[in-house]
Structure 1
Amino acid sequence: MTGRPDPEPRPEPRPEQPPGRRPGRRWVLHVDLDQFIAAVEVQRHPELAGRPVVVGGRGDPTERGVVATASYEAREFGVGSGMPLRVAARKCPDAVFLPADHAAYEAASVRVMETLRSLTWGGAPVVVEVLGWDEAFLAAGPGADPAEVSADVTAGAVAEPTTGPRGEGVGGGTPEQPPGPVGPRAFAALVRQRVLEETGLHCSVGIGDNKLRAKIATEFGKPRGVAELTADTWAEVMGERPTDALWGIGRKTAKKLSALGIDTVAQLAGSDARVLAAELGPTMGPWYHRLGRGEDSSPVDATPWVPRAHGREETYQVDLEDWERIAEEVRVLTRRTVADIDREGRPAARVAIKVRFKPFLTVTRSLTMPAPTNDPVVLAEAAVSLLDRVEHDRPVRLLGVRLEMTEPTGGY
């Protein structure tokens, strides 16, 4: 592809319809907890409210480690997830640094997801697809009344904060029983309200006519708000944004697209899917093209996510140079990972290691086991054997082990 493709022409305007009269439209909501980890820590330590809080590693900014999350107060100083703790401390020297507590975040997440699953929309329980600790998709479940849940009450709207008092945004009804049909914005306000009441945590909600648009809409609603993105507003809202503004396109893919003369969402939408398939692969190329058009046909699926692998890694405060010590650390990490796959009830079929040298050169090596196993000794020695395929010419700052499991009965 040479040059830059023209943006896709805007579709002809649809006939005007009264608000709340677009039958058949199925709505998806994306719920995202605001600064989730930091918010949980502030709940546990109320005295930290309003202060810059940084969570990561062992909570010591003089040690190696990265930021897991930062409160909005810390983000104002440029602190962000993935940043080395030492850099975060320089940017925000008055921040409170705390160690990560995965058990606490898991417990808080369970409360949130239980709250979401307790909701009904259109007379039927909602379907909840959990994406992680702090986010989920929601949709009206089987048996919901289409007349109640397909209303488009604010066509063309982009974002709307919903931080008012109890009842605001839900037509004056109660969270348990809002009056009359509940369109997506009213239901989004209800979701925010119920999550806050039941867990004390704030969330933002994205509304879309598919999962992709709902997910992206959430970013426009943050923090503590609601935003809507549909086929009607996609080109106007997203067209001139860079391709990595799309869920599913990261910096590396954006660079590949840029090399093809595609820098914006509109250019991606107007590109030739056949050229993308030739350049980026027969599966991924057309998929990226659909992302540019905001297309996503995947349903909201409540089936629990089944992991394909488990892994453990460790960043060492002092670089490792003794390769016998390095081998022993790999054995320790493998035993910890075996405990994780044991809980899944599936043996490991493939072993991989990650070695990060000083300063930041990272290499990975892997092998397929002769036969699947969950024997910690066998897997540990397989992982250690991979060290022979790594140069031993510089200090090691991080080690990781990953065990890929056999496919579950019934597949993924």
Structure 2
Amino acid sequence: MDAQGLDKNRIDERLPGYRRIAHLDMDAFYASVELLRYPELCGLPVVIGGSGDWQPEIHKDGSWHFSRLRNYAGRGVVTTATYEARVFGVFSGMGLMKAAQLTPDAILLPADFRAYRHYSRLFKAAVAEITPQIEDHGIDEIYIDLCGLTDDTLTLARRIKQAVRESTGLSCSIGVTPNKLLSKICSDLEKPDGLTILDPEDIPNRIWPLPVRKISGIGPKATQKLAALGITTIADLARAETAFLQTHFGSSYGHWLHEAAHGIDDRPVVTESEPKSLSRETTFERDLHPRHDRHILSKILTGLCTDVANDLQRKGYASRTISIKLRYDDFRTISRNITLSSPTADAVAVRRAAEECLRRVSLKQKLRLLGVRASTLSAANTLRNSSMSHQGELPLAE
């Protein structure tokens, strides 16, 4: 035990130094993609959110006119923001109206998820050229198992960062440690364009002083509850007895908290995982009426079904169960699903199934969200693109 009551020997027991797990996190990914398109915005506070009527407009002289956040009115949320906007307290998930109060002069851009998915595929393919031992962890982050490679860790990490930059023009931050838990923490320590390599003996100085929320798996509610118990840093958490944590958080989660505080994580990098479902949904900028906004809703449904079908085709799956999700203006949420006679990845078939689901719900009340999900997935050997040109309108109220 050290003077603070922390057992440093506990760290070395379960952290084999030969494991090299990297976590790669793209820097302000969506915003960075937009800055490639609009380089004149580099260095400015930029907020990405919604998909409304604030598309940039080009002037006759070739310059762009951008909307300002102060002019926004609606209930959209921030998808991401540049680091220049984050210094004002803007963060993902914040309401755009709240963000406008914090930085009214920020540039407002709509989210373009097609572009983000394109760059996501590019950076993952670039890393796969160096090593295929990759665990996909979302559109902008991956875990990489470096154990089978002969190059030293610093050289490998720099090669990966350079490959990502050359393939996308974007920067990323990488943390390399003996496990996934520590690597995810470390990839965030020196952003943007960071590179952190951490050995077990570095945990007391680099990890323990951090707030507990830096551990992935400790959310806002757990952070608040830990603070009420006098635990605010990872060092505080490491000092707490396992029995004490289990008393307040339950046997399983309490044990995990103690392990995580000591940097212990035995999870492997999973290079192949079967998704249970694929889905797309959108929250509207304003509530839409099934009758008065029928054409708008029909277009949105078509887009969601097409996106779900494209996702299925790209990932090599077909779906037997198609579901729709509706959220009414009173926040009541319902879903309906239909099982098909055979699996499909065809956009027309997905939309027809979604229509059947919609016929089984009440469409007299305004809507604030619409979603489409494909589940009961199976591998498909041959998938064909399809056109929506012959598809009818959304079966809404007459």
Alignment TM-score, normalising by the size of structure 1: 0.68
Counterparts in 2 of 1:126 and 1:398: CA distance versus 1, 3 Å: closer
2:137 aligned residue: 131
1:161 aligned residue: none
2:86 is matched by which residue type in structure 1? Answer: R
- What are the within-5 Å matches in structure 2 for residues 4-403 of structure 1? 9-12=6-9, 25-58=18-51, 60=54, 61-119=72-130, 125=131, 127-140=133-146, 142=148, 144-145=149-150, 182=152, 184-239=153-208, 241-255=210-224, 264-266=233-235, 268-269=237-238, 270-272=240-242, 276=246, 280=250, 284=253, 286-303=255-272, 305-320=273-288, 335=305, 339=309, 343=313, 345-349=317-321, 351=323, 353-355=325-327, 357-358=329-330, 361=331, 363-365=333-335, 376=350, 377=352, 380-382=355-357, 385=360, 396-403=367-374
- CA distance in structure 2 between the aligned counterparts of 1:333 and 1:201, rounded to whole angstroms: 28
Task: Show CA shifts across 1:11-30 (max 9, x none).
Answer: 34999xxxxxx996221111
Moved more, 314-323 or 60-69: 314-323
In structure 1, list runs of 5 or more residues that go unmatched. Answer: 1-6, 16-21, 120-124, 150-181
Q: Aligned-pair distance for 1:368?
A: 8.4
Once superposed, what is the RMSD of the aligned Cα atoms? 4.1
- CA distance in structure 2 between the aligned counterparts of 1:278 and 1:14, rounded to whole angstroms: 23
Q: Aligned-pair distance for 1:113?
A: 1.7
Q: Aligned-pair distance for 1:212?
A: 0.9
Task: Show CA shifts across 1:329-374 (max 9, x none).
Answer: 697688557635753543344746342535xx45455678698876
Counterparts in 2 of 1:260 and 1:387: CA distance versus 1, 3 Å: farther
Counterparts in 2 of 1:44 and 1:215: CA distance versus 1, 3 Å: same
Q: Aligned-pair distance for 1:104?
A: 1.7
Counterparts in 2 of 1:141 and 1:352: CA distance versus 1, 3 Å: same
2:62 aligned residue: none
- CA distance in structure 2 between the aligned counterparts of 1:383 and 1:8, rounded to whole angstroms: 60
Counterparts in 2 of 1:111 and 1:381: CA distance versus 1, 3 Å: closer
- CA distance in structure 2 between the aligned counterparts of 1:263 and 1:212, rounded to whole angstroms: 18
Secondary structure at the counterpart of residue 302 of structure 1: coil
Aligned length: 347
Q: Aligned-pair distance for 1:279?
A: 5.4
Task: Show CA shifts across 1:193-229 (max 9, x none).
Answer: 3332443211111121111101111111211222234
Q: Aligned-pair distance for 1:97?
A: 1.6
- CA distance in structure 2 between the aligned counterparts of 1:382 and 1:201, rounded to whole angstroms: 41
1:169 aligned residue: none
Secondary structure at the counterpart of residue 137 of structure 2: strand
- CA distance in structure 1 between the aligned counterparts of 2:232 and 2:379, rounded to whole angstroms: 40
2:246 is matched by which residue type in structure 1? Answer: L
Counterparts in 2 of 1:64 and 1:302: CA distance versus 1, 3 Å: same
Counterparts in 2 of 1:387 and 1:246: CA distance versus 1, 3 Å: farther
Task: Show CA shifts across 1:22-57 (max 9, x none).
Answer: 996221111111111111111111222222222221
- CA distance in structure 1 between the aligned counterparts of 2:195 and 2:99, rounded to whole angstroms: 30
1:33 is matched by which residue type in structure 2? Answer: M
- CA distance in structure 2 between the aligned counterparts of 1:210 and 1:23, rounded to whole angstroms: 9
> Is the CA contact (8 Å cut-off) linking 2:281 and 2:304 kept in structure 1?
no
Alignment TM-score, normalising by the size of structure 2: 0.70
> Is the CA contact (8 Å cut-off) linking 1:331 and 1:384 kept in structure 2?
no
Q: Aligned-pair distance for 1:141?
A: 5.4
Secondary structure at the counterpart of residue 73 of structure 1: helix
- CA distance in structure 2 between the aligned counterparts of 1:345 and 1:221, rounded to whole angstroms: 38
> Is the CA contact (8 Å cut-off) linking 1:209 and 1:230 kept in structure 2?
yes
Counterparts in 2 of 1:268 and 1:373: CA distance versus 1, 3 Å: farther
- Sequence identity (%): 32
Q: Aligned-pair distance for 1:131?
A: 1.8
2:387 aligned residue: none
Secondary structure at the counterpart of residue 108 of structure 1: helix
Secondary structure at the counterpart of residue 399 of structure 1: strand
In structure 2, list runs of 5 or more residues that go unmatched. Answer: 55-71, 381-398
Q: Aligned-pair distance for 1:297?
A: 1.6
2:64 aligned residue: none
Secondary structure at the counterpart of residue 290 of structure 1: helix
Counterparts in 2 of 1:290 and 1:370: CA distance versus 1, 3 Å: farther
- CA distance in structure 2 between the aligned counterparts of 1:347 and 1:58, rounded to whole angstroms: 28
Secondary structure at the counterpart of residue 83 of structure 1: coil
